Amino acid sequence: MIKNIFLKTLLVLSIILTIGPILLVAIQSFSFRWVWPDLLPQRFGLRAWKAVFEDPSLLQALGNSMMITAAVVMLTMVISMPAARALAFEQFKGKTVIETILMLPLLIPLLFIVMGLHLTMIRFNLADTLAGVILVHLLPCVPYAIRILRTGYERVGTKWYEQAIVLGASRQKQFWTITVPMLMPSIRSAIVLTVVITLSQYALTAIIGGGIITTLPIIYYPYFNSADQPIIAAFTLLFAVLPILFWFVIELICRSVTTMIRQP
Amino acid sequence: MKLYKNKRILPYLQIAPAFLLIVGLLGYGVFNGILESLQVDFSWTVEAYQTLFGNSAFWTSLWYTLYITFVSTMIALLVGLCLTHFLYPYLVKDRWKAVIWVPMLFPHFAAGYLIVLLFSDSGWISGLLFQSGAISQLSDFPNLVNDTNGLGIIMTYVWKEIPFVVLMLLPVYVQMDERLKDVVLTLGGKKHDEFLTAQWPYLWPTIIEIAIILFAFIFAAFEVPYLLGVTFPQMTPVLAFDWFFDGNWDQRPVAFASMVVVTAIIVMLTIAVYSSTQKYRHRLMKGS
């Protein structure tokens, strides 16, 4: 009984501490006048959101961020899915070493790696380009994606694939009828995390993009110093909206392809 | 015959893109970074390291960074472990799991803004304290965000990393054999025996892994301290970034040298932790 009350309190408390600050940001973004020490704004309005979506530099950054994110998500999935599958199902020589190397980007400072790559990127004409930025953004994303997808493959196991092979399904059909639907929870997590990681990179983008490729994080910092609270709040929320948007679009694509393949 | 041969090579082919990407970018970046730290005007020298080690601002920043990293990692791990331990029957349900994912959606610097909104001197908490009569004016509220103790940075990391810790630990709790807990209880063990003998052996390898990931990340991350940090002391990555982008290129080798030091600390710590726990790992494998 006491334990139950304790658990419920802990649960409610952690939810408040998790969601509460975000709710405050949401309220702030819709506030019109909110002065200290009022606990809630006196008036609400859409001024901040309008200002965010009317700023041409922000719209350009949003466009760049969307392009980079879309490319990074696609490349990360294409690179990580086969690797995760091999690590989950196969035993081969040097597996432990390869596993360790694939997780190294979580250990070695990205800032250092990118500083080291800078001159070479200039030489290969990749500095100050979208391609260069996309390339370095893959580094923090791929290890997490491999990790999550590998757990997914391990959970599904090989039995479904064996059955599909017995029934004569092609590799492509196996992918859309087994891998995609069965691994959907892992794919979803991997995609959302990839989007968040890409949208979190300031230093990588600043160094390789050279200030020419502006993304949302690059212009977040000058906004942060502007001291117009509702606008910063709206901008902050925008970062959380994008991963959900990407997840939604990709879920839609995966679902429709799967249903198309299932119906002959 | 062809099939047999393909089967042997296939896993390597499947891993090749990820492997080449990581070895190529990471390996080359690190190699080049070390090289640039050892070169001044195209000649080999350890001048950059001499400058760096003679710079008191660097030592202050290194200790400051270690302190922030250690405190943030420890708090996030402890709170994350406690939450998972007590709440995992709830947390495995989809709707609560969705709640954990919400902070994951925000970049670290966005979480920094949340902390500013709550804890700055004209923030929400300060307003709440004023309304409740705990403080009588704005200036009574302590400086928690832009302070030399890095409290704002620590709070940002803790808020951001606790959900990460919970998400990493949840699968371990889900896979744990519930019967082991019953064994402990039938044999007369107490509640803490239950945790220590039935759960801890499964938990600690993951806990160590999370600790290393968090330590490596916070120690070398740039985004949050750049947003919330004060001009002195600065966290080492911010210092390195400033040196790297300094107008004249003289500071570049020093910037590289400082990141070499940061990287070396992370790598040595990881090796030390893994090698000192290696024998227990073997025992664990044999035991199960």
CA atoms within 13 A on the CB side of B257: 22
Whether residues A242 and A116 fall in one domain: yes
CA atoms within 13 A on the CB side of A250: 24
**Is residue B5 a part of any domain in this protein?**
no
| Residues of chain A contacting residue B102, judged by C-beta atoms under 8 Å apart | 18-19, 22, 240
**Is residue B2 a part of any domain in this protein?**
no
Min distance A35 CA to chain B CA atoms (Å): 9
**Is residue B154 a part of any domain in this protein?**
yes
Token couple for B256: 């590289």
* Residues forming a β-bridge with A31: A44
Whether residues A141 and A255 fall in one domain: yes
- CA A192/CA A246 separation, integer angstroms: 8
pLDDT along chain B (288 residues), means of 10: 62 94 96 92 87 93 96 97 91 86 93 92 87 84 84 95 94 82 79 80 90 96 90 91 84 94 96 85 55
In 10 A of CB B33, how many CB atoms? 26
Q: Give the mean model confidence (pLDDT) for residues A128-144.
A: 96
Whether residues A89 and A214 fall in one domain: yes
Q: What is the structure's pLDDT at B287?
A: 46
In the DSSP assignment, the letter for residue B44 is E
B29·A113 Cβ contact <8 A: yes
The residue type of B30 is: V
Looking at the partner chain, which of B26, B34, B113 has a beta carbon nearest the beta carbon of A224? Answer: B113
Q: What is the structure's pLDDT at B2?
A: 45
Domain count of chain B?
1
**What value does the mean pLDDT of chain A take?**
91
Whether residues A185 and A79 fall in one domain: yes
**Is residue B181 a part of any domain in this protein?**
yes
Q: What is the pLDDT of residues A16-74, one digit of tens each?
A: 999 999 999 999 999 987 887 788 888 888 898 998 899 999 999 999 999 999 999 99
Whether residues A75 and A172 fall in one domain: yes
Min distance A119 CA to chain B CA atoms (Å): 9
Size of interface A-B (CB pairs under 8 A): 232
Peptide bond into A41 cis (omega under 30): no
The residue type of A166 is: V
Tell me the residue range of the domain where A24 lies: 1-45
- Crossing angle for the helix pair A110-123 and A130-156, to the nearest 10 degrees: 130
Using only C-alpha atoms, chain A has a radius of gyration, in whole angstroms, of 22
A104·B26 Cβ contact <8 A: yes
Q: What is the structure's pLDDT at B97?
A: 85
Whether residues A37 and A122 fall in one domain: no
Q: What is the pLDDT of residues A153-198, one digit of tens each?
A: 998 888 889 998 899 888 888 888 888 888 988 998 999 999 999 9
Tell me the residue range of the domain where B65 lies: 33-287
| Residues of chain B contacting residue A102, judged by C-beta atoms under 8 Å apart | 15, 18-19, 22
- CA B180/CA B200 separation, integer angstroms: 12
A102·B19 Cβ contact <8 A: yes
Token couple for A64: 């760049």
Cα distances (Å, whole numbers) of residue A38 to A17, A46, A68, B138: 20, 20, 40, 12
Q: What is the structure's pLDDT at B198?
A: 78
- CA A135/CA A63 separation, integer angstroms: 18
Whether residues A115 and A65 fall in one domain: yes
pLDDT level of residue A264 (50, 70, 90 thresholds)? low
Q: What is the structure's pLDDT at B1?
A: 40
3-state SS, residue B40: strand
- CA B235/CA B231 separation, integer angstroms: 10
Whether residues A14 and A84 fall in one domain: no
Q: What is the structure's pLDDT at B189?
A: 77
Choose, out of A115, A119, A146, A247, the residue to mutate when testing the contact with B (most B CBs < 10 Å): A115
Q: Judge if ipTM > 0.90.
A: yes
CATH of the domain at B53: 1.10.3720.10
DSSP strand pairing (B43-44 vs B39-40)? antiparallel
Whether residues A65 and A31 fall in one domain: no
Whether residues A57 and A33 fall in one domain: no
Cα distances (Å, whole numbers) of residue B71 to A110, B5, B67, B204, B209: 22, 52, 6, 19, 17
Q: What is the dihedral sign for C-alpha A125, A193, A14, A233?
A: positive
A116·B270 Cβ contact <8 A: no
Domain count of chain A?
2
Cβ B219 vs Cβ B265: under 8 Å:
yes
CATH of the domain at A93: 1.10.3720.10
Q: Which residue has the tokens 């925008």?
A: A238
Cβ A98 vs Cβ B19: under 8 Å:
yes
Looking at the partner chain, which of B127, B138, B159 has a beta carbon nearest the beta carbon of A39? Answer: B127
Choose, out of B8, B34, B113, B263, the residue to mutate when testing the contact with A (most A CBs < 10 Å): B113
Min distance B187 CA to chain A CA atoms (Å): 23
Q: What is the pLDDT of residues A197-241, one digit of tens each?
A: 999 999 999 999 988 999 999 999 999 988 788 999 999 999 999
